[in-house]
Amino acid sequence: MKIVVFLFLITLVFVSCKQENRSLDCLFYEVKGPVETITEIEEMSVYPDQLSKNVYYFNKQGELTKAEHFRSTDTSGTFDLEYITHVKQAENGRRNYYKTAPGSEKIYEVFQLEKVSDDEIRYTFKIEERDVEVNRTIYYNNELPVRSYTTGHYADSKFETKKENFYTNQGILDSSITIDLITKRTATAYYKNNQEDNFGNFTFGEFVDENGERIYTIKRSYTYYK
């Protein structure tokens, strides 16, 4: 079950954002407008006793400058800082990032974004300590992400998936179908209860499976540059 949810979650990004000449970071983190910070709370059904909190910081050019990642393992609402994402200087149009624990210089995780064209983005992600690697290519049509291909491994488990997104007439994600190209298994997730702010950035959304059972919930709040 956890492997199935893992494969689903690593394909969640790019669910409902339009490009509109935004920066690569704003596109990746699904935000519009002069965003300054995003505070995000995630809840996954496979880990019912854990909440994740992420705080993202952007400059006025729409580029990520830092992110803080917290986790709570009880219902008190208290979050402990686990990791910090740092941004390296861009190279040849690529954005490079790495993650460390607070007060440590040891790199825990690295990832890279590359905008190949207006219709294609490539993403790589590695955690050497846990033997995790993800390589994903996302394709757009009419400024909406409609398809992605993902390959990689999670310890000894290799994966290769294809994801198709389907939208309402208003350009809001309706459902996603993820196909495991190795086992030929298919998983469908439905996006429900979407809420947005005045900039069109989502503030709440949840994914449910074919039986209506909740898989994943995300809440966001934003601050904006004046």
Q: How far apart are CA 59 and CA 35, in angstroms?
A: 8
Cβ-proximal residues to 22 (8 Å cutoff; 6+ apart), any chain: 31, 32, 62
Question: DSSP secondary-structure letter at 129?
Answer: G
Q: Using DSSP bridges, classify how beta strands 186-196 and 173-180 pair: parallel, antiparallel or unpaired.
A: antiparallel
In tens, the pLDDT along 5-27 reads: 555 555 454 443 444 567 888 87
Q: In DSSP terms, which residues pair with 166 in a beta bridge?
A: 175
pLDDT of residue 203: 95
Q: How far apart are CA 100 and CA 66, in angstroms?
A: 11
Handedness of CA 202, 206, 52, 30 (dihedral sign): negative
Domain CATH for 24: 2.40.160
Closest CA to 5 of 50, 39, 38: 50
pLDDT of residue 141: 83
pLDDT of residue 21: 63
pTM as predicted: 0.85
Structural domains counted in the chain: 1
Q: Using DSSP bridges, classify how beta strands 157-167 and 132-141 pair: parallel, antiparallel or unpaired.
A: unpaired
pLDDT of residue 128: 87
Residue 15 CB burial class (10 angstroms; 0-12, 13-18, ≥19): buried
pLDDT of residue 17: 40
Closest CA to 200 of 178, 220, 226: 220
pLDDT of residue 23: 85
In tens, the pLDDT along 165-220 reads: 999 988 889 999 999 999 999 999 999 999 999 998 999 999 999 999 999 999 99
pLDDT of residue 186: 94
User: Per-residue pLDDT averaged across 105-112, rounded?
Assistant: 93
In tens, the pLDDT along 52-97 reads: 999 999 999 999 999 999 999 776 678 999 999 999 877 777 899 9
Q: Is the pLDDT of residue 3 over 70?
A: no
pLDDT of residue 13: 46
Which position has the higher pLDDT, 128 or 160? Answer: 160
Q: Is the pLDDT of residue 29 over 90?
A: no
| Domain span holding position 196 | 2-204+211-224
